Structure 1
Amino acid sequence: MLVVFAIILVALVLFVTELLPIDVTAILVMVLLMVLGVDGVVNFTEISTAEGTSGFSNSATITVLAMLILSSGISQTGVVQILGRKMSAFAGNDLDKQLLATIGVSGPISGFINNTPVVAILVPVVSDIAHQGKTSPSKLLIPLSYASMFGGMLTLIGTSTNILASDVSARLIDHPFSMFEFTKLGIVVLVVGSLYLLTVGHRLLPERVPVDEDYVQEYAIEEYLTEVVVDANSPLVDTTVDDAIDYVEFDADILQVVRDGEEFIEPIGQKTIRAGDLLRLRAGRATVQQLVDRETVTLAGNPQTAADIEPDEVSDRTLVEIVVPRGSFLVGESLESSTFRQRYDATVLAFRSRGETVRSNMDERRIRVGDTLLIQAAPDSIDRLSKNDDFIVAHEPEEPDYRTEKIPHAAAIMVGVVGFVAVPWGVVGAALAGLTSIGAFEGLSALSLPILVTALAGVVAMVATGVLRPTEIYDAVEWDVIFLLAGIIPLGMALEQTGGADLLGSLVAATGAYLPVLGVLWVFYLATGLITGVISNNASVVLMLPVAVETARQIGADPFAFVLAVTFAASTAFLTPVGYQTNLFVYGPGGYKFLDFVRVGAPLQLLLSVVTVLGIAFFWGLSPA
């Protein structure tokens, strides 16, 4: 038991500090459990090799994998983006309408498409709505993330946390979730949470990104942008842009070359510099002064706005923000080691990381999930970036490449995936048999299939109908999430088998002497919410559910009520930007500080803790059946 607690402590420290990526931490946990398990060095954890690797074959892991692919198929059709454009037309310049449109689209959709890709799709749509409607994106992007969490609690498939919780619930109390098991409470949470965001929440959000400021002013990089003229005797003459500045010696980038009134932007790496060329640099004052002192260049001025560094003849924007999601090749890399500029003919001017804006010495900084890069690139490079799953480009492409003709196919497939699970075929068959006296109808109960089977069938159908290309199904999977699930599922089993869950349950159950069952349930909701704020939502479910079930048994309460409380709390993590992936997606584009999530999320978390706990008591009761 102590060994398992020690492994949990190590995992928590690594999750919080991000010394290792979360998926690598999960694999480390899996390895430790097996090395210290039945087939390992010593039998401390009571986990065999088969149990240690069971997370890979677990139905929750495979179901999440399939749902990620299905969500990708839906996004390829452009149906969510089309809804986004309609909400843009509805919203106009009215903040209340913009909020209503953002919440009204992201919430319900997230009940049927995994909420993580929904936010990834809608970040550029909502950012464009904000800019076109003269509203700060800061007012809309946290509501977008929170609304997607509300919507994720409408159905079993709204979020990977629900699917994992269903699997753990089936193992602990033989009660997996049905498709619409908690939809009635999910609707209550969606309505209450939406009303909070529409009335109170947005008033607590500061305008971190001022309405009238462009990217140059927003990132405060004016002093890092300089225009210089190449001297006649400069050593830069007759060198290419790539070779012109020693990047090891100088922290600088050549953004543009202006010659005879013509402006050249990326790709300019092989362009030869001539005397008299005007170069637009990203460089600090000290670096520029060194170049001037060496009689390399002459100062010419400082660009003050984005318009100053975007050529007039370029029809599309050349400055854009990109968000780094989980699974991107950039995660854990630096700009130098990832060769980002060479791959995409793009220059990073600045980036935001966990609320900090980095403008200098960027090449060696490790990039993390949720970091937002401000880049300059040619329009075709930006289009390539927008089509790459390694990035979320924070504005919609002018000519999106969607498979709109496949919308009916994708919709029919999703209806089939949900329908075969949701419809009570046994009841329907018995009713038809009774009405028609045809006993064969009773065989309809065989049509009742688990979500694992229908989701995998849906993946096959997506490829067969051309909604997805075969090679795209691998790119659609967030492999770090899959490895995270595979690694932490055995940890929950170890907590259970070593008696750790019993011990923790007994300690919490002791509060039953001072609190009613409803109070203990509320404590579990709050505890899960706090834990989820510093580790992943999936990890908190695996750790908290065995303890919650054991506590319920010891105080004579219904374990399923406690399962629901933990599930809802883990799936609605509002307190920090790192507790839930959708919060990370909006962190950079909204220009938020860490405390912005606390300011808006803490009252919401407290409000929904009361609503959810009372809802569980009302709909399901707290006494064992």
Structure 2
Amino acid sequence: MTIEIGFVLLVIILMMLALVFEVSRPEIIVFTALSIFMLSGLLTVEEAIEGFSNEGMLTIALLFIIAAAIQKCGLVDRVVTKLLAGNKSDQWAIAKILTLVAGVSAFLNNTPIVVTLTPILRKWCEENNLSPSKFLLPLSYATILGGTLTLIGTSTTLVVHGMLLNLGIEGFSFFQTGVISIPAVILALVFIVTIGYKILPNHQVMTDTVREQSREYLSQMFVEDTFPYMNSSVEEAGLRSLKGLYLIEIIRDKEKLSPVKSTTIIKSGDRLIFTGLISTIVELEKMQGLRLETGSELTLNMLRNGNIQLVEAVVSHHSSLLYKRIKDSHFRSEFDAGVIAVHRHAERVVNKIGDITLKTGDTLLLLCGPDFEKKIKQSNDFYITTPLHTPPILEDQRKGWLSVIALVTMIILVTFHMISMFKAMTLVVILLLIIKVVTPEEAMKSVHFQVLLLIASAFGIGTALLKSGAATFLAEGIVHIIQPYGIMAIIVSIYILTNVLTEMITNSAAAVIMFPISIEIASQMQIDPIAIVLAITIASSASFSTPIGYQTNLIVYGPGGYKFKDYLKIGIPLNIIVMLSTITMIKIICF
């Protein structure tokens, strides 16, 4: 092993560890690794930035816009709502929903599907006295499975497609991955609806848990006439930065003021509602003119009225709030909302609210003012997982159907090789802009530039593996150990290695790391590389056993009240089912 190979492998191992332990945002970690390769001279500037003009990466950017256009028209929402209406059988309902979701996610980005349908499913569960934990994880799994059916079903497939084109190899046809994965999708969905449904837990959701335990972190103080800061602002009264406590609402007669601003005036008779470490309330009791209200039991329902609502939100993967303390993010003024509690890994973070540093997947219970919905429409910081009081304004249905027709036309043209995927997507986006299904501003907002940075940077990592000889070195090691057992043993090994990687780091990063190794193995074994590439493509998407492997798994983590072991119980059997089916189909079709 040369020094250059050792250097590349060391940087990649450190990158993977940083991704696993969430040292920073994924795109920053991968871009940093790429920068190290460029600055060290291993990659030229042209090689380092080649991924930013890759056809697969640019196609993903266009797909974001198309998915946003169809989501905006609310067609999927209406179909799912009709399927659930009057349906009392939970397993029959889940079977219908998962079949629809898998089909839709074959053509649309799965993240917005999960975000859109989570509040609808939770409301239906509440109305029918069912646990959302029986539905939300299957929802995520169905989108992942459906994404393997087509070229545009998941960003991972487009990434691998782009890397094939870069090497001068013909990329995937539109339904090529689907031919391999459709038996796995059917078997997996049957497993989820039958055995998996029984394995899934009956967990309470965060709102219910908070409601039951509200005494532990909700308390109210009564402002008496002797309070020395009467008619002064919250900040002047010293109530803005309290030890362990967070002022979330003021109840004044029948009026409720929330979120509380630093300029809000304190008046006699006000009831001040605090959340946080209620054990520190003794410090507040020492203030003259503040009396702890112990005679009445404070509940969450007391905190809301027509303008103020309780909302559960999950911190997104590309949130501007990541790795910031709540008090440093100016949360109240930025979102017109106060944080009541933060749950991480299904457990409440016991700390002063303002001092909690937010991470991807944290579930926040928010007390929101009237401007909250308007503010979050301009932000990608949260996935809202509870129904909002104000129903979404549905666009003209004709425009929605025009979007669908445009997408179907694109699929037909690409399937019959009449036009390339990138050109077809470009035409669809132009059409959507012309007929004003989306505005240019909405199109720009729908593109997740953080995801594109991650993918474009990952291309450079793959180039470094190939150029340094590290991919050849690893491929030779794998072939030397496993070749005596046959080509299928090698494909199984590559599948398992890719699958383990995607459970620990991002799916695109796993695919990009394994792609050059797979190409080298195919070269040494003198076989068609497509067989091995198909294995890593599906393996990198089939993330079921951890909440961190795929972003939709993380979105439902808090809202479903899941624990890490819940993913293992149902995810490991799913991983095995999909792997065995995929390997069998590859053997039948490719050999």
TM-score w.r.t. structure 2 length? 0.93
Q: Secondary structure at the match of 2:63?
A: helix
Q: 2:277 touches 2:352 (CA, 8 Å); kept in 1?
A: no
Report 1:570-581 matches (<5 A): 570-581=540-551
CA separation in 1, counterparts of 2:369 and 2:57?
40
Match of 1:28 among 29, 32, 35: 32
Report 1:357-506 matches (<5 A): 357-382=348-373, 384-385=375-376, 388-397=379-388, 398-405=390-397, 406-424=399-417, 448-506=418-476
Superposed CA offset, 1:136-175 (max 9, x none):
1111111111110100011100010000111223344713
Q: Secondary structure at the match of 1:588?
A: coil
Q: Unaligned 5+ residue runs, structure 1?
A: 38-44, 425-447
Hey, what does 2:343 align to over in structure 1? Answer: 352
Matched, 1:306 2:300: yes
Report 1:309-348 matches (<5 A): 309-311=303-305, 314=306, 318-348=309-339
Match of 1:214 among 208, 214, 218: 208
Hey, what does 1:204 align to over in structure 2? Answer: 199
Match of 1:129 among 124, 130, 151: 124
Amino acid at match of 1:143: P
Matched, 1:165 2:160: yes
CA separation in 2, counterparts of 1:114 and 1:260?
48
Matched, 1:274 2:267: yes
Shift of 1:385: 3.1
Identify if the C-alpha distance between structure 1 residues 231 and 185 changes in structure 2 by more than 3 Å, giving closer, same or farther. same
Shift of 1:62: 0.6
CA separation in 1, counterparts of 2:474 and 2:271?
68
Matched, 1:290 2:283: yes
CA separation in 2, counterparts of 1:172 and 1:3?
24
Q: 2:205 touches 2:559 (CA, 8 Å); kept in 1?
A: no
Identify if the C-alpha distance between structure 1 residues 461 and 597 changes in structure 2 by more than 3 Å, giving closer, same or farther. same
Q: 2:84 touches 2:93 (CA, 8 Å); kept in 1?
A: yes
Identify if the C-alpha distance between structure 1 residues 250 and 96 changes in structure 2 by more than 3 Å, giving closer, same or farther. same
Q: Secondary structure at the match of 2:216?
A: helix
Shift of 1:468: 0.6
Match of 2:75 among 75, 79, 82: 79
Q: Secondary structure at the match of 1:258?
A: strand
Q: 2:64 touches 2:446 (CA, 8 Å); kept in 1?
A: yes
Superposed CA offset, 1:28-67 (max 9, x none):
1221111122xxxxxxx2x211011111111111111111
Shift of 1:306: 2.5
Superposed CA offset, 1:540-583 (max 9, x none):
11111221222233334432111111100001111211111111
Shift of 1:269: 5.5
Q: 1:29 touches 1:488 (CA, 8 Å); kept in 2?
A: no
Hey, what does 1:95 align to over in structure 2? Answer: 90
Identify if the C-alpha distance between structure 1 residues 337 and 376 changes in structure 2 by more than 3 Å, giving closer, same or farther. same
Identify if the C-alpha distance between structure 1 residues 184 and 85 changes in structure 2 by more than 3 Å, giving closer, same or farther. same
Matched, 1:224 2:225: no
Report 1:43-58 matches (<5 A): 45=42, 47-58=43-54
Amino acid at match of 2:58: I
CA separation in 2, counterparts of 1:190 and 1:386?
34
Identify if the C-alpha distance between structure 1 residues 94 and 242 changes in structure 2 by more than 3 Å, giving closer, same or farther. farther
Q: Secondary structure at the match of 2:181?
A: helix
Q: 1:63 touches 1:452 (CA, 8 Å); kept in 2?
A: yes
Superposed CA offset, 1:4-50 (max 9, x none):
1122112112111221211111221221111122xxxxxxx2x2110
Q: 2:110 touches 2:144 (CA, 8 Å); kept in 1?
A: yes
Q: Percent identity?
A: 28
| More off after superposition, 505-514 vs 4-13 | 505-514
Identify if the C-alpha distance between structure 1 residues 102 and 408 changes in structure 2 by more than 3 Å, giving closer, same or farther. closer
Q: Unaligned 5+ residue runs, structure 2?
A: none
Q: 1:517 touches 1:557 (CA, 8 Å); kept in 2?
A: no
TM-score w.r.t. structure 1 length? 0.88
Superposed CA offset, 1:347-372 (max 9, x none):
10111234442243232332222221
CA separation in 1, counterparts of 2:182 and 2:236?
60
| More off after superposition, 515-524 vs 58-67 | 515-524
Identify if the C-alpha distance between structure 1 residues 479 and 531 changes in structure 2 by more than 3 Å, giving closer, same or farther. same
| More off after superposition, 296-305 vs 117-126 | 296-305
CA separation in 2, counterparts of 1:331 and 1:82?
33
Matched, 1:257 2:250: yes
Amino acid at match of 1:7: V
CA separation in 2, counterparts of 1:94 and 1:308?
34
Shift of 1:243: 4.3
Shift of 1:383: 5.8
Identify if the C-alpha distance between structure 1 residues 160 and 594 changes in structure 2 by more than 3 Å, giving closer, same or farther. same
CA separation in 2, counterparts of 1:317 and 1:158?
38
CA separation in 2, counterparts of 1:372 and 1:263?
24
CA separation in 2, counterparts of 1:351 and 1:523?
40
Shift of 1:379: 4.6
CA separation in 2, counterparts of 1:245 and 1:137?
41
Q: 1:234 touches 1:295 (CA, 8 Å); kept in 2?
A: yes
Q: Secondary structure at the match of 1:566?
A: helix
